[in-house]
Structure 1
Amino acid sequence: MATFATLEKISLSFPEVTIEPHFEKISFRVKKKIFATYNEKNNKAVVKLSEADQDAFSSSSLNIYPVDNKWGKQGWTIIELEKVNQELLSDILKTAYCEVAPKKLVELIGTNEKYKKTTR
Structure 2
Amino acid sequence: MRRDLPRGRRPQDGRQVIPGLSGPALARIARIERRASWPGPLFEAWGRWRALAYQPGPWVMYASDDCCACCDPFAGAAVREVLEAACLVLPRPAARELRAVLAPLDARFLARTLPDPFAPPGDPWWTRRLESA
TM bucket (normalised to shorter chain) is 0.3 to 0.5
TM (norm. structure 1) is 0.32
* Structure exhibiting the larger radius of gyration computed from Cα positions: 2
